[in-house]
Amino acid sequence: MNKSELIEAIAASADIPKAAAGRALDAMVDTVSNALKEGDQVVLVGFGTFSVKERAARTGRNPQTGEPIEISAAKIPSFKAGKALKDAVN
């Protein structure tokens, strides 16, 4: 399912116009992104938890030359599915 299909599904489920569903989806994505950027986590009970994890610096290898390279530390977004979502999928 891509973004436009998701917007159509939201619009049909909530009985709202596609434009309003699109704005709501964009607002939700922006809000989650901004919360993660500030270091917060977003918990949607039953659905899951969005959070930021720290990835440590490490040494890797250039696949073309085999030379070791330094990969810097980074913050990565993470999602952990909630119990209700896991049960719905299984």
**pLDDT one-digit tens code per residue, 18-51:** 999 999 999 999 999 999 999 999 999 999 999 9
Distance CA 52, CA 63 (A): 28
Same domain, 53 and 70: yes
Mean pLDDT of the chain: 95
* Single pTM value for the model: 0.79
Domain that holds residue 32: 1-39
* Same structural domain, 29 and 45: no
15 and 49 together in one domain: no
Are residues 71 and 47 part of one domain?
yes
Confidence class for position 15, pLDDT limits 50, 70, 90: very high
Helix 3-14 to helix 18-37 angle (10° resolution) is 120
Burial class for 32, CB neighbours closer than 10 Å (0-12, 13-18, 19+): middle
Alpha-carbon gap, residue 24 to 78, rounded angstroms: 22
Quick one: 49 and 25 in the same domain? no
Q: Provide, rounded to the nearest whole percent, the portion of the chain with pLDDT above 70.
A: 100
Question: What CATH number is associated with residue 89?
Answer: 4.10.520.10
Burial 61-73 (b: 16+ CB within 10 A, else e): eeeeeeeeeeeee
Contact 75, 53 (CB under 8 A): yes
